[in-house]
Structure 1
Amino acid sequence: MAGIYIHIPFCKKACHYCNFHFSTTRHNAGEMVNCLLAEMTIQQTYLAGQSIETIYFGGGTPSILPAVDIQRLLTEARRLFNVIPVPEITLEANPDDLTMEKLAEFSAAGINRLSIGVQSFSEEDLRWMNRAHNADQAVACIMNAQQSGIRNISIDLIYGGPTLTDEAWKENVERAIALGIPHLSCYALTVEPGTALDHFIEKKKIPPIDADKAARHFAILMDMVQAAGYEHYEISNFALPGYHSRHNSSYWKGTPYLGLGPSAHSFNGKSRQWNVANNALYMQSIRQAQVPFEVELLTPEMMLNELIMISLRTAAGCDLRVVNERFGEEKSRQLLAAGEQYVQQGWMIHEGSHLKLTREGKFFADGIAADLFV
Structure 2
Amino acid sequence: MAGIYFHIPFCKSSCVYCDFYHTIDLRRIEELEKCMYRELEERRTYLEQEVIESIYFGGGTPSLLKPETILLFIDSIRSWFKIDSKPEITLEANPDDISRDFIKALRRAGINRISLGVQSFQDFVLEFMGRRHTANKALKSIDIIRREGIINVSVDLIYGSPGYTTNHLLRDLQILERLDIPHFSAYLLTPEKGTLLYQKISDGEVTLPGEEEQFEQYMSLCEFSARNGYRHYEISNFCKGDFIARHNKGYWEGKIYCGIGPSAHSYNGNSRRWNISSLYHYILAIKEGRQYYEEEQLSGKDRYNEYLLTALRTDEGVRPETIRENFGKDLEENFVKGISKFAGKGYVEFYKGRCRLTDQGMFISDSIISSLFLT
Do the structures match in fold with TM over 0.5?
Answer: yes
SS in 2 for 1:360: helix
**In the TM superposition, what are the counterparts of 1:75-154 in structure 2 within 5 Å?**
75-154=75-154
Shift of 1:353: 2.4
Deviations 1:219-267 (A, max 9, x none): 1111112111000000100000110000000000000000000000000
Q: Name the CA distance, whole Å, in 2 between partners of 1:207 and 1:313.
A: 28
Aligned to 1:262: 262
Shift of 1:212: 2.1
SS in 1 for 2:296: strand
Aligned to 1:11: 11
Q: How many residues align?
A: 374
Indicate if the aligned counterparts of 1:39 and 1:291 stay in contact, CA closer than 8 A: no
Aligned to 1:63: 63
Q: Name the CA distance, whole Å, in 1 between partners of 2:304 and 2:47.
A: 22
**In the TM superposition, what are the counterparts of 1:332-371 in structure 2 within 5 Å?**
332-371=332-371
Indicate if the aligned counterparts of 1:317 and 1:355 stay in contact, CA closer than 8 A: yes
Aligned to 1:32: 32
- TM-score, structure 1 as length reference: 0.98
**In the TM superposition, what are the counterparts of 1:211-250 in structure 2 within 5 Å?**
211-250=211-250
Deviations 1:185-212 (A, max 9, x none): 0000001000000110111111245222
Deviations 1:105-149 (A, max 9, x none): 001100000100000001100000000111111111111111110
Runs of 4+ in structure 1 over 6 Å off? none
Deviations 1:51-101 (A, max 9, x none): 111000000000011111111111111111111222100000000111111
Q: Name the CA distance, whole Å, in 1 between partners of 2:343 and 2:212.
A: 24
5+ unaligned residues in a row in structure 2: which ranges?
none
Identity of aligned residues (%): 38
What amino acid is aligned across from residue 189 of structure 1 in structure 2?
A: L
**In the TM superposition, what are the counterparts of 1:272-283 in structure 2 within 5 Å?**
272-283=272-283
Indicate if the aligned counterparts of 2:89 and 2:113 stay in contact, CA closer than 8 A: yes
What amino acid is aligned across from residue 48 of structure 1 in structure 2?
A: E
Q: Name the CA distance, whole Å, in 1 between partners of 2:190 and 2:116.
A: 19
Q: Name the CA distance, whole Å, in 1 between partners of 2:84 and 2:356.
A: 32
What amino acid is aligned across from residue 155 of structure 1 in structure 2?
A: V
Query: Which deviates the most, 313-322 or 350-359?
Result: 350-359
The CA RMSD measured in Å over matched residues stands at 1.0
Aligned to 2:200: 200
Q: Name the CA distance, whole Å, in 2 between partners of 1:211 and 1:190.
A: 12
Indicate if the aligned counterparts of 2:160 and 2:208 stay in contact, CA closer than 8 A: no
Q: Name the CA distance, whole Å, in 1 between partners of 2:148 and 2:369.
A: 42
Shift of 1:318: 0.7
Q: Name the CA distance, whole Å, in 2 between partners of 1:6 and 1:140.
A: 27
Aligned to 1:298: 298
Indicate if the aligned counterparts of 2:156 and 2:186 stay in contact, CA closer than 8 A: yes
- TM-score, structure 2 as length reference: 0.98
What amino acid is aligned across from residue 126 of structure 1 in structure 2?
A: L
Shift of 1:167: 1.2
